[in-house]
Structure 1
Amino acid sequence: MRRLLAVLGVLLLALTACTSAPDRPDARDGLPGEHWRPAPGLAWQWQLSGRLDPTVDVPVYDIDGFDQPASAVADLHRRGRKVICYLSTGAWEEFRPDASKFPAAVLGRSNGWPGERWLDIRRTDVLEPLMAARIDMCRDKGFDAVEPDNMDGYANRTGFPLTAADQLRYNRLIARLAHERGLAVGLKNDLDQIPDLLADFDFAVDEQCAEYEECELLVPFVRAGKAVFHVEYELPTSAFCPRSRELGLSSMLKRYDLGVWRRPC
């Protein structure tokens, strides 16, 4: 009798799961219970400065994780948008509320932006809990994904002897932290390591690949069914949009302040 009841219970659970699942889940959202997986070609808005304008008619927004509250994320969700949480994971920013938690030993040279310095990504004993807390914030605010910035320190003058292996290890750590929290994660720039990191990241975010004639390096993401969110700053749309469309990139022209203004392909 107990065995019969157990079998009936399993059948009832299976029937409930089948009847409650959507008939045609959106392929761009992945399977039920999995994190979002943006498909190639999705239009997007990237706004990191100024008052947030939630009315741009695109399916994806990328906004600052610290500056924007959970209510802004919820509002975008009500408007049918997926929302990416911008974070700097490879550089320290003096204006962030957790800046004092970073010991001086992990702070390197300026990355070229005021108040920002490269991090010693070899020090995962220090950085992992700090980055986990930041990604917790993204999750708790309801974001769908994370855009971790400054993920190519090994290719820059950071003040630390970083290697490609150090960068791979750190980038995979960030990807794991995001996935453990049910969030998609994008690879920011770091084009040379795409072959090694393609399996770890759900999409890519790139700046100026057309200006530097590097966009073909991003094609593995598109071939894997993963979006490439791309911006240019210096070129007119006529100079990069035709090729972007051929490659399957989600491209637009933005100004360096990353405010509301955009000119999509």
Structure 2
Amino acid sequence: MSEVTVSQLDRPAPLPALRNDPRRVLRVGLARAVMETKMFFREKDQVAFVFSIAVVMLIILASIFTTQYRGTDITVSQVYVAGLIGTGITAVSFQNLGISIAVERDQGGLRRLAGTPMPPSAYFIGKVGSVLVVAVIQVAILLVLGVVLYDLQLPAAIGPWLTFTWVFLLGLAAMTMLGIAASSVPRSARSATAVITLPFVVLQFISGSFLPHTDLPDWLLNLSAIFPLKWICQGMRSVFLGQEAAFMEITGGYELGKAFLVLTAWIVGGLVLCLLTFRWKDQHAG
């Protein structure tokens, strides 16, 4: 057995070992998250587009429908606030992430990153961290508007806020996974907005973002129950409208246990989709 010298012990680790070191991955990922967040807020058009979707829809719809809902103390405007939180979460994760990654890939940005010493997982940590920050701001804006303009009552007990936390985190994680996976669908940056926005708009109308969807045909109800947005909206209504509004749901209840299982399943399924479909370069690149 050969003797190990001091110089050998002091020799730097090979590049692959350094690249996959968990502490380095986390450190680089957090730095990437800060950079991604700064880049997002520097693009004024992008900021206005992402934040305005749910806010503008809330203001327009809540201004048209101001009556109380079916003889309760809950106004239609308050129902909109709760449901559109789901839209806001989906806009900053699925829609914005899917479009921005597709554009980065088409412009060669992902291909260049793949050739750097940056761990690939750090790139995704950066994206997830940025989405989390933007989503918190988006939800905060909607809640402030709901409280100030539409008399939304925030929960006084800790239980609803715990529900809000897990619905928010699981819903955001599920939609983020789907956004990353969907980014591989557009063939170019020019088609990314149309390709990603279409399913986003459809899901809003069938998932109860505007009102509980009791009047939809059965096949659409079954279709909406497959996707995360329906369960995010339902969970948020349970938090901000309470049991008084549970009769609005299809089953007469919020089914929070089922919401937890569906959202968790989509996180796992979305991760599998990302691993199977994500690519660092455009499919037409050499």
TM-score normalised per structure 1: 0.30
| Higher normalized strand content (fraction of residues) | 1
| Higher normalized helix content (fraction of residues) | 2
Q: Tell which structure's C-alpha radius of gyration is larger.
A: 2
Higher RCO (C-alpha under 8 Å, 6+ residues apart) = 2
